[in-house]
Structure 1
Amino acid sequence: MTKLLKWTTPEIALTFVLDEGPVRVTAVRDASRLGGAEPDSSRPLVEVTAVGHGHSSNRHIGSVLGGRLRYADHEETETTLRIVQEEPTTGLRVTSVLEARAGVRAWTEASITGAGSLELTSLTSLVVGLPSVDADLYSAANSWMAENRWSKRALRDVLADIVHDPHHPVPNSRYAVTSTNSWSTGEVLPVGVLVDGPHALGWQIEHNGPWHFEIGETAQGGYLLLSGPTDLDHHWSVELTAGKPFTTVPVSLVAGTDVDSVFAALTRQRRAIRARRPIDDRLPVVFNDYMNTLIGDPTTEKLLPLIDAAADVGADYFCIDAGWYAEGDWWNTVGAWQPSTTRFPDGLAEVINRIRRRRMVPGLWLEPEVIGARSPIAAELPDDAFLTRHGRRIAEKGRYLLDLRNATARQHLDTTVDRLVDEFGIGFFKFDNNTMTGPGTDKFGTSLGQGLLEHNRALLDWLDGIHARHPDLLIENCASGAMRMDYAMLSRLHLQSTSDQEHPLLYATIAAAAPGAVLPEQAGNWAYPITGTTREEFTLALVNGILGRLYLSGHLNRMTPAELDVVRSAVAAHRAVLAELPTLVPSWPLGLPQWTDEWVALALNGPDVSYLAVWHRVPGPSTITLPIARTAIAPHFPTELGDWTCAWDDDGLVVTTTTDEPSARVLRLE
């Protein structure tokens, strides 16, 4: 007998099929479509493989154990649904946990009933059925200095259309996206959107390490599978016993009618899962001395005039970036985190005190997870404090990597953070991570992937401990720019560095596309105007930061009074956006930005006001029409349009620039 279990969140509904087979699920777009959910397009909610219970396919769908799971029970509260399934021959019990946020947040808990054990080699966080794969997929490549490169492709370009009656065999092909290593976004983003006519699904995998998603087709229809590490992709397995359960990484699922509505839903979901503290409401303007400025070479002589200039243009926090601890080469000597005596002859306190006297909060760059091979700390800490393989420390480019499961490693980092906060009154840390771990560690006899997963989770626990001890501390998430831009980290941390890109014109597409992956109020977009450049170049560099978190840099102390006035105007314009930012959702009137687009546009929309940033990225006059509804419009930054004009026609907003160089503007729409 078939029973349908229907469960809704404020923005998405799921229909579960409960019968003599495994529990199956179909994603439904809205409550009005609940009655239209069709069991024949559903897919098993959980797929699982284990040693001795695998299957001959690169796909993670159609697993033997997953097919033998049977519904046992479910429990429903106002915000949570728990569905229990059991596999009788192995004693495997899996519980699918779904939380109602803006969308759905889901994960899987696995355990063994009775004696025995089971070595899992894959376990999904969520699988949902798709009526078809005749859809377009939006996903993003991500790399150092070239983040957030979104693209659109038809799934039929990779999934052959051979599923036709009476020809039942289907291809084993799939569209798979996999991230390996400890940089969760080192090559691709853990975010995707599927658009099939008027229906769209979006998802994100919330893990600070390896992950996998795949889309494919069976005789029953399409499927979307979301997962953390697996044996096939990440050298991962884990032993289950009665006393050793396992929980997968969480994922989120949202629904909409098109690309923009899905990203709006993802924005609401990210806000719903974020652990927001009172200090996070501050949304300060941060000046950082690195980008196109000191580039890792801070000294007292260089910093003091920068501090004064940053205060004069309205910065709230001042962060001293890499190099403050280094007597020479800073790369392979990191780890002690003591101020350099040659860079600061009268002590770092002199610089910190100047920051405070100028009514700013001091910040420091820190790369906590590594110890340089030439650092004295490398010899002082035992091997157990580091990630190892076959008993030897993992060494990557002159650095060792701390194992945050280890109490000695944690104590070293806790002591470091607490000392810097207590001694210098640090209120902001830029936590960087420039070294990857490889596939993981086999310490304690685990698989490499499980060792890395445990370390990843220990890192999150360490961050939670910092916040508990220092509730007024803000922390920026950075990993060679945005190589770890995931919502395991960002559910905890205040700010995300969106890139290390040093060219303002290239940064424009990164900043414009960033809200696809990160909340606007967490998107730390560098604004580093360069003194001596033209007015349009100077302005464009500042526009990059205004619709997000303006992360200010540049040699402010060398600028002319006219240039400083432009910076002050940009900071004021940004503060006006900050007042609305935590409620705004993104859209892209010209589509998601492409790396070489001539015109790029990002809108942040609220119920009463919207802000629109428009970039023209090639030299010469040009005109573009943005398909947006007619409304009151005014220049926001700069406060005069200059060589730009805006006018309405039947197709939308017509924007024209007559300048001979690339340029950008921010408009306010009411």
Structure 2
Amino acid sequence: MPREYLSSHTLGDTLVRFPHDPDTGVVGLEILPAALAAETVAPRESLHGEAFIDVLPGDDPWPARPVESLLQFKLVGDPYPGAFVQGHSMRNAETLRRFCFEGREVEERDGATTIETRLTSADGLLAVHRLSWREGDGALCVGCSFTNGSDRPVTLEMFASFSLSGITPFHEADAPERLNVHRFRSVWSAEGRHECRSLEELHLERSWSGAGAFSERFGQVGTMPVRKWFPFLAVEDTVSGVLWGARLHWAGSWQMEVFRQHDDVAISGGLADREFGHWMKTIAPGESFEATPATLACVKGGLDDLCDRLTAMQDEAVNTQPEVEQDLPVIFNEWCTTWGDPSHEKLCAIADRLQGSGVRYLVIDAGWYKREGTDWSSGHGDWNPSSKLFPNGIKAAADAIRERGLIPGLWYEMETVGSQSESFRAGKHFIERDGIPVTVRERRFWNMNDPAAVDFLTQRVIDLLDDCGFGYLKVDYNETAGLGCDHPDSQGEGLRRQVEGSYRFFEKIRERLPELVVENCSSGGHRLEPSMMALTAMSSFSDAHELVEIPIIAANLHRLLLPRQNQIWAVLHPEDSLQRLTYSLAATFLGRMCLSGAIEKLSKSSWNLVLEAITLYRKAVPVIKSGTSRRFGEVGKSWRHPRGWQAVVRKSETLALVVVHTFKDAPVQIEIPLAGEWVLEDSLVGESPEISGGIICHKPVGDFIGSVWLLRKP
């Protein structure tokens, strides 16, 4: 029998299909490029015809591609999934067999389409899948909810945000040697390493009979969501040239999964479940629970095309940021200037140098609160400005910065408390594990659901920022809370609520101080995920402040976040050669320019180079803000010791920004493809590449050279 579909919908250039098995009642979700619908092939229905199946006794139908449910969840008390998968996956648990398709609603309003699919059980439980799309978007949003309409509590131990199956619809069977999985690894100061592995390399070939189910489940546990992995997953059909991808919007424990039991591949993701993230949640009668949001996309093209669609979904949130942010101002952060020892005098010297330079924000980083005998890392938490560093109060420093035409900013690590602070001994106001405050690296974590903790932070953070006239807040977060914290349901649920409490405090800051610019930092890039990006104007890209791999990391992140939100540091030293300064400054054109270092001690020629870079950056803002990026070159396997070269070309309709870095053993000539006709508008340090026949030809003068060219269509 051919596969049945409840319905199909064309949303933009994406075809959405809901396969339905009338015998089991299971409803699935498939997406594909609408233009390729005619190229799909009917999947085989059974394994019959394979010699190793036909020799078996009995009348088993041996299904080849049964429908996988678009909702994946598991209730405590129901049998666990078989096929040797327990401990590796909780997909396709017996819970799903209790639910039947109940109805479908499609709503179209104001250019938006929402497709709601409802599953119900005999005892009154309701699971809802909502797929939404807005006109002009290249991706789809997914939201799932669970409502307990029964007369007794039930406990979830797995609830996915999305489940997408039917990969690939362009092969009738198990698509050997054509499916690849794309992920991005991440560690401290080395964010965004792309990994591409075949299904075969991941040992995800289907079993010969379907009796075995296999899963590649990955993610992270804790409150640093970008730790080991980004919450991103894509599968590529290398023959059809189609990719399917997903991103999670969540700053806590999460998981993604590539699942294979039959011919097709399914991907899913969401909150880390009981097996992976210690999560269970009890839903009382009449209560509902919403899964974390996810974004899905598919495209005929390459990985960059898929990532463009997913990252573009962040535009809406960033466009609501304060008006002062809309022209992408340049930032100066004094961290690599004073190294945790800022003072009124030092800040005034920095502000004097920056006056009239084109820099708009001057951010006071960690250490402004230090008491005698404490340090910046463990002395935070009370948030009383140091009378030694700021004898006239920190407001006087903020006023002095504003008097010099700059917007003052201030650093907080507000969700944690250092061991040298008085607040460290604040009793029961921290999250606990086993009744003991969670303590790591001389830090504890405020319970962000404790009214007393929230009131304290409101006074010491929001009120101080407001009273002192700060226009910029840098929020850091330098440790993870780990596997979870005490809660009657589970430690994973305690952690989930902690993350929601942090969200609420960020929202409270925005409500009280709507014009405040907020930066998201977590020891660099540990919170570079969509939900935190939506709450803030920009994010620190990494803690790799002074390293040669800065341009490599910055380029990686073009696939994962908008450059307009990606703050790239250039630390400037008086002893740096002009070549080294240019290398550092060039990297900032890959996102938001942030300067640091002993700028007041730079020579005239060095400072003039900085001013030239700022001027060029202002010209490049339109294409940094709105464009698409492609990367070229070869840097070798080691980022700490890179070899070769890298070029990032970012284009809009009228501008092209080309940022080139060479590394050790650079080639004598570099050729960069650039379709169309372009002329040089401006460049850093006056370089003029040869542009001809859709190729940029550049002859670098050595290793570790940075170049920036702004091109315009004639």
TM-score of the pair, normalised by structure 1: 0.93
Quick check: 264-273 or 463-472, which moved more? 264-273
CA distance in 2, matches of 1:478, 1:382: 27
Task: Tell me the CA shift for residue 515 of structure 1.
Answer: 1.5
Match of 1:290 in 2: 335
Task: Return closer, same or farther for 1:104/1:597 CA change in 2, 3 Å cut-off.
Answer: farther
Task: Return closer, same or farther for 1:37/1:477 CA change in 2, 3 Å cut-off.
Answer: farther
2:75 to 50, 53, 72: 50
1:371 to 407, 417, 428: 417
CA distance in 1, matches of 2:681, 2:573: 23
Match of 1:627 in 2: 673
2:584/2:706 contact within 8 Å kept: no
CA distance in 2, matches of 1:333, 1:173: 48
Task: Tell me the CA shift for residue 140 of structure 1.
Answer: 1.4
Superposed counterparts of 1:26-425, under 5 Å: 26-30=30-34, 33=37, 36=40, 40=65, 43-53=68-78, 54-56=80-82, 57=85, 58-78=88-108, 79-101=112-134, 102=137, 103-129=139-165, 130-131=167-168, 134-162=178-206, 167-169=208-210, 171-197=212-238, 198-256=241-299, 257-272=301-316, 274=318, 276-279=320-323, 280-291=325-336, 293-327=337-371, 328-379=374-425, 381-383=426-428, 385-425=429-469
Equivalent residues, number: 660
Task: Return closer, same or farther for 1:660/1:273 CA change in 2, 3 Å cut-off.
Answer: closer
- Aligned Cα root-mean-square deviation (Å): 2.4
Task: Tell me the CA shift for residue 534 of structure 1.
Answer: 1.9
Task: Tell me the CA shift for residue 325 of structure 1.
Answer: 0.7
Per-residue deviation, residues 128-155 of structure 1 (Å, max 9, x unmatched): 1111663222221111111112222222
Quick check: 483-492 or 83-92, which moved more? 83-92
Task: Tell me the CA shift for residue 630 of structure 1.
Answer: 4.5
CA distance in 1, matches of 2:221, 2:303: 27
Match of 2:659 in 1: 613
Task: Tell me the CA shift for residue 483 of structure 1.
Answer: 0.7
1:175/1:215 contact within 8 Å kept: yes
3-state SS of 1:340 partner: coil
CA distance in 2, matches of 1:658, 1:428: 40
Task: Return closer, same or farther for 1:18/1:55 CA change in 2, 3 Å cut-off.
Answer: closer
1:526/1:551 contact within 8 Å kept: yes
3-state SS of 1:659 partner: coil
Per-residue deviation, residues 604-636 of structure 1 (Å, max 9, x unmatched): 221222212111112555223223324214264
CA distance in 1, matches of 2:556, 2:606: 27
Match of 1:505 in 2: 548
1:180/1:211 contact within 8 Å kept: yes
Task: Tell me the CA shift for residue 282 of structure 1.
Answer: 4.6
CA distance in 1, matches of 2:456, 2:38: 54
CA distance in 2, matches of 1:119, 1:624: 59
Q: 5+ residue gaps in structure 1? A: none
1:619/1:661 contact within 8 Å kept: no
Task: Return closer, same or farther for 1:427/1:245 CA change in 2, 3 Å cut-off.
Answer: same
Per-residue deviation, residues 245-284 of structure 1 (Å, max 9, x unmatched): 2111111111222112112112222214557234342522
Quick check: 613-622 or 110-119, which moved more? 613-622
Matched, 1:545 2:571: no
Task: Tell me the CA shift for residue 366 of structure 1.
Answer: 0.4
Task: Tell me the CA shift for residue 80 of structure 1.
Answer: 4.2
Quick check: 536-545 or 195-204, which moved more? 195-204
CA distance in 2, matches of 1:503, 1:435: 22
Task: Return closer, same or farther for 1:597/1:48 CA change in 2, 3 Å cut-off.
Answer: farther
Larger Rg over CA atoms: 2
Match of 2:576 in 1: 533
1:111/1:241 contact within 8 Å kept: no
Superposed counterparts of 1:455-534, under 5 Å: 455-534=498-577
1:124/1:228 contact within 8 Å kept: yes
1:547/1:611 contact within 8 Å kept: no
Task: Tell me the CA shift for residue 36 of structure 1.
Answer: 4.4
Q: 5+ residue gaps in structure 2? A: 44-64, 169-173
3-state SS of 2:474 partner: strand
CA distance in 1, matches of 2:66, 2:306: 22
Task: Tell me the CA shift for residue 398 of structure 1.
Answer: 1.7
2:449/2:497 contact within 8 Å kept: yes
1:335/1:377 contact within 8 Å kept: yes
TM-score of the pair, normalised by structure 2: 0.87
Task: Return closer, same or farther for 1:289/1:607 CA change in 2, 3 Å cut-off.
Answer: same
Task: Tell me the CA shift for residue 171 of structure 1.
Answer: 4.2
Task: Tell me the CA shift for residue 287 of structure 1.
Answer: 0.7
Matched, 1:561 2:604: yes
Match of 1:146, as an amino acid? Answer: A
3-state SS of 2:285 partner: coil
Per-residue deviation, residues 203-229 of structure 1 (Å, max 9, x unmatched): 211100111111132224111112212
CA distance in 1, matches of 2:94, 2:260: 17
CA distance in 2, matches of 1:407, 1:337: 18
Task: Tell me the CA shift for residue 513 of structure 1.
Answer: 1.3
Match of 1:55, as an amino acid? Answer: P
Task: Tell me the CA shift for residue 110 of structure 1.
Answer: 0.6
